Amino acid sequence: MLCAGDPAERGVRLDTTREEISRAKPDLPARALSRPPLLGEFNNYLSDPADKTQPLIGRQRELDRLIEILGRYSSKSPVLVGERGVGKRTIVGALARRMAEGDVPRPLAARSIVALYLPPNRVLDTDRSWQERLDRALVAAAEEGKIFFVNQMHNLPGGISPVTPMHVNELLMRPIVAEKIQCISTATPADYEKLVAGQHWLAQHFEPVQIAPASEDEAIEVLRGLKGAYEQFHSVTYADNAITYAVYYAASCIKEGGLPGKAVDVIDDAGASAQLHQAKLPEDVIEVQKRIRFIMQRMESAIADHEFEKARFYSDEERIERQNLAQARQTHKLDESPALTVRREDIENVVSKLTGLSVAEIRQSRPADPANPQDLAS
């Protein structure tokens, strides 16, 4: 079965930016993190992996395998291997929620998952004792039941610092090899195969869990499960055939990534596009929307520079402006009008923008089924 996919990284995306902010936020629920004191120094590199992830739909076999590996006496670490968009982070987030609720076997019942985001090499350049302190903090946290999620640890970094000649993922080598900590990571198949071929330590100390792309039918099930959240966020409704063709066209026309993730991106873009092209809004509503876009851009820049205090400030500002937007919409009674409907042709226009294909070419990739009235409905 399957789960919701990871959002694609294309420009300033609200869902992606919120996800990045969640990685940096230290003020998460105590239930999720309850960090031991030694981890306090590294708060800006920690978050709850369940925060801002989509609900898990299906994928029970993969989730069970992840639980089996983590429950071993040998302290083996799992790596979820799959293309972008197949839902690797969603599986980890679902497990984190289950562990917080105590819905796991006894070996995991007293444990929890903390997402760890490794720093750029410039942190090591300015503080050579950083790795040693991190080692001690992680081992102490592991002794109190913490399992660390390091997203894309197996994806080879783009460069090595001339001052500190190590890949960022080497920071965790000593405690992992010594089986003092357990990690969950993710990798694309291509990057994982490179490590296996090179007999890299990561491949030797991580047990792979293969996450295959969802089938079209499974992806449609996922989108139907998620559409309510996207309808509420974008103030739209999705026609049944919009959901179906988002999957069909994502599978046939968008080459990068896997299902269901790239189909989720399509309905997300279609919802945003529907709002953009609606009738002209009152000036005060437009101004608030501009301020929100400006704040989101600043937030993304702060995240890219690892300025997490600034990012949290902008996150608070965004919440305030969204309250202002809700008040302005209420004043103009905008929310009393019928919701916009996203239809098949809206999906086709989005896919055309994403791929450069004409709508005629997109339709030819997956013609409507005359025997299915829903297929033909617009």
pLDDT, tens only, 162-211: 444 456 678 889 999 999 999 999 999 999 999 999 998 999 999 999 99
Does the residue 9 lie in any domain?
no
Alpha carbon distances (Å) from 311 to 50, 121, 208, 262, 302: 20, 20, 34, 27, 5
Question: Among 150, 185, 210, which residue terminates a domain?
Answer: 210
Does the residue 330 lie in any domain?
yes
Cis bond upstream, residue 260 (ω within 30): yes
Closest C-alpha to 351, from 257, 266, 243:
266
161 and 26 co-located in one domain: yes
Does the residue 306 lie in any domain?
yes
**Residue range 147-166: mean pLDDT, rounded:** 66
Rounded mean pLDDT of the chain? 82
CATH of the domain at 32: 3.40.50.300
Neighbour-count burial of 5, counting CB atoms closer than 10 A to its CB (0-12 exposed, 13-18 middle, 19+ buried): buried
Does the residue 5 lie in any domain?
no
**Residue range 124-133: mean pLDDT, rounded:** 78
> Residue written as tokens 């997402």?
115
Q: What is the DSSP letter of 358?
A: -
- The residues facing 47 across adjacent strands are 115
70 and 122 co-located in one domain: yes
- The alpha-carbon radius of gyration of the chain (Å, integer) is 22
190 and 319 co-located in one domain: no
Whether the predicted pLDDT of 37 surpasses 90: no
228 and 159 co-located in one domain: no
Question: Among 185, 210, 235, which residue terminates a domain?
Answer: 210
Range in 17-31, 40-54, 128-142, 245-259 the model is least confident about = 17-31
pLDDT, tens only, 24-35: 433 433 344 444
Long-range contacts of 226-230 (CB under 8 A, 24+ apart): 226/4, 226/54, 226/55, 226/57, 226/264, 227/267, 229/54, 230/267, 230/268, 230/271
Banded model confidence at residue 131, pLDDT cuts 50, 70, 90: confident
Q: Which residue has the higher pLDDT, 67 or 275?
A: 67
234 and 354 co-located in one domain: yes
Question: Among 161, 195, 210, which residue terminates a domain?
Answer: 210
273 and 347 co-located in one domain: yes
Whether the predicted pLDDT of 120 surpasses 90: no
Q: In the structure encoding, which two tokens stand for residue 191, read together?
A: 């990057």
State the Cα torsion 241-246-249-254 to the nearest 10°.
180
Neighbour-count burial of 14, counting CB atoms closer than 10 A to its CB (0-12 exposed, 13-18 middle, 19+ buried): middle
**Number of independent structural domains in the chain:** 2
372 φ/ψ sector (left φ>0, alpha ψ -120 to 50, else beta):
beta
Does the residue 153 lie in any domain?
yes
Range of the domain at 35: 14-210
